[in-house]
Amino acid sequence: MGAAGIAANAVAASDEAALARGKELLAASEYAAARAAFDEALKADPNSVAAHLGLARAYYGLGEYSRAVLEFEAVLRFDNLPPDLLEQAATYDKAAAEYEAGRALRAFYYAETGIGNYRENSSTATDIFGGAGDHDTFWPLRVGGGLNTDLTERHSLNATLDYRFRWYDDSDRRNDSDWRWSVNLSRPVDDDNLRFGMRGRVSYRGDGQHRNDWGVFAAYGLGFGPNDRVTFGGEVRERRYPRGPLRERTRDIAEFTASWTHSLANGRTALTFGANLGQEWATQDRPDGDASFWGANGEVDHTFSDDLDAFFWWSYVNEGFDDERPDFTTDPDLLAVRNDDLWNFGGGVVWRFAAGWSLRPTFEYNWETSNIPELAYSSTELWLTVRKSF
């Protein structure tokens, strides 16, 4: 055996020894020592799935939830998770524990329900057409789950299915029904992560009409130590209205995204900033024609304890269209090419009051302005839900 072969065997032996030591320490709840052991294993083999998951579980045991999520997502990634670190980290930890136990198929499930209120705020549109200050009580329901399995030693297949429903007390308002699905292939590349797959949703739009979205995407996450990850992504998708008066809104979309997530406060806080840029191509003679859009977004999440978490997020999107809208004026001198600004804010608190159970007061504020006054809109939503994770 040559010198290169001897060195490779020594590295493999060092990796296996560090992995075994890390697993023993993890089982004994000695999380700080386990973290050091898994760090050693990753130095020997930066692509080791077991070492990445073990290190993430050690962070989780230490209560460093933002670092845990960053490390988990170097190996696998579930879409449609709630925004709080407590639930994200717990979901990934469950999958990692089942991986360590040798289960070929790892699954998680959840159900959530409660009560909420939807309010139309004063805006140019409501001043014109009325409706400002209208309140509607609603009953939200959300159920779903996900699966994770190995395709190769390095590649992980992840899938999620998420159903959301709202029943409004006011019979004049449509009830919302929304299916969201995602399938992706993920693998570590040293401290980085490569992910690609398909995702989509089917939404009920009222009066027997639906909107179907589906697309293909890819994302590459660059890891910069335990506290930072930068992710670049791209997606091509179709938004299709199969029939009815909304069919003209059917369009194709290409979008590029970038985000940076930073862990601070000893792994108890995650801070994220992102940006997006895209183009829409109208395929069914949409009155506004094609459009281009760009935006920015951010999120902060802090875990006050192992049972209490708070989060806040915001997003802004500017969308500029190509064609004039003659249906909003009879004066040719007042024809306008539509340009919209969309602001969204939201946040909430998560209290994990028992194993697998959490109480979630949440709010969301939406504000849309436009150079065509009739298209301006604003709403506020408040809801309180109880979530059970399995």
Helix, strand, coil % in the chain, rounded to nearest 5: 25, 55, 25
Q: What is the average pLDDT across 64-93?
A: 96
Q: What pLDDT does residue 326 have?
A: 74
pLDDT value at position 331? 64
Q: What would the mean pLDDT of 55-63 be, rounded to a whole number?
A: 97
Chain segment 128-178, per-residue pLDDT in tens: 655 666 789 999 999 999 999 999 989 999 999 999 999 998 777 788 899
Instruction: Read off the pLDDT of residues 283-305 as tens digits, 9 standing for 90 and up.
Output: 998 989 999 999 999 999 999 99
Q: Do the Cβ atoms of 191 and 218 come closer than 8 Å?
A: no
The token duo for 374 is 């009739």
C-alpha 270/C-alpha 86 separation (Å) is 11
Positions of CATH 2.40.160.40 in the chain: 106-389
Residues 6+ apart with CB under 8 A from 23: 34, 54, 100
DSSP per-residue letters across 130-165: --TT-EEEEEEEEEEEEEEEESSSS-EEEEEEEEEE
Write the CB contacts of 44 (distance below 8 Å, at least 6 apart in sequence).
11, 12, 14, 15, 18
Q: Which residue type, as a one-letter code, is found at position 141?
A: L
User: Cα–Cα distance between 385 and 291 in angstroms, integer?
Assistant: 37
Residue pLDDT, tens place only, 171-211: 777 888 999 999 999 999 998 999 999 999 999 988 888 99
Q: What is the distance between the alpha carbons of residues 48 and 191, in angstroms, rounded to a whole number?
A: 10
Does the structure show a pLDDT above 70 at 14?
A: no
pTM recorded for the entire structure: 0.90
pLDDT confidence of residue 168:
92
- Domain ranges in the chain with CATH number 1.25.40.10: 3-100
CATH topology of domain 106-389: Porin (2.40.160)
Q: Among 3.40.50.720, 3.40.710.10, 1.25.40.10, 3.30.450.40, what is the CATH number of 3-100?
A: 1.25.40.10
Among candidates 287, 292, 200, which has minimal Cα distance to 248?
A: 287
CA dihedral 119, 122, 124, 126 (to 10 degrees): 50
Quote the CA–CA distance of 219 and 104 in Å, as a whole number.
25
